[in-house]
Amino acid sequence: MPELPEVETVRRGLAPAMEGARLQRLELRRPDLRFPLPRDFAARVEGRRILALSRRAKYLLIDFEDDLTIIAHLGMSGSFRIEAEEGANLPGVFHHERSKDEKHDHVVFHLDRPEGVVRVVYNDPRRFGFMELMARSELDTYPAFRDLGPEPVGNRLSADYLATRFAGRSQPLKSALLDQKVIAGLGNIYVCEALWRSHLSPTRKVSTLVTAKGRPKAELAVLTDAIREVIADAIQAGGSSLRDHIQADGTLGYFQHSFRTYDREGKPCLSDGCQGTVERIVQSGRSTFYCRACQK
Which residues does the annotation mark as catalytic? Answer: 2-3, 58, 286
Annotated binding site for DNA: 104, 126, 169
Distance CA 136, CA 260 (A): 39
Annotated binding site: 104, 126, 169
**Structural contact between residues 46 and 24, judged by C-beta atoms closer than 8 angstroms:** yes
**Structural contact between residues 161 and 150, judged by C-beta atoms closer than 8 angstroms:** yes
> How many C-beta atoms surround the C-beta of residue 275 within 10 A?
10
- Termini Cα distance of the chain: 28
Distance CA 237, CA 195 (A): 19
Distance CA 90, CA 92 (A): 6
Distance CA 178, CA 185 (A): 8
Distance CA 22, CA 272 (A): 53
Count the residues in the chain.
296
**Structural contact between residues 8 and 55, judged by C-beta atoms closer than 8 angstroms:** yes
Q: What angle do CA 175, 178, 32 make, to 5 degrees?
A: 130
Closest of 246, 259, 291, 249 to residue 273, by C-alpha: 291
Determine the distance from the C-alpha atom of residue 59 to the mean position of all C-alpha atoms in its chain, rounded to a whole number.
7
Q: What residues pair up with 204 in beta bridges, in sequence order? A: none
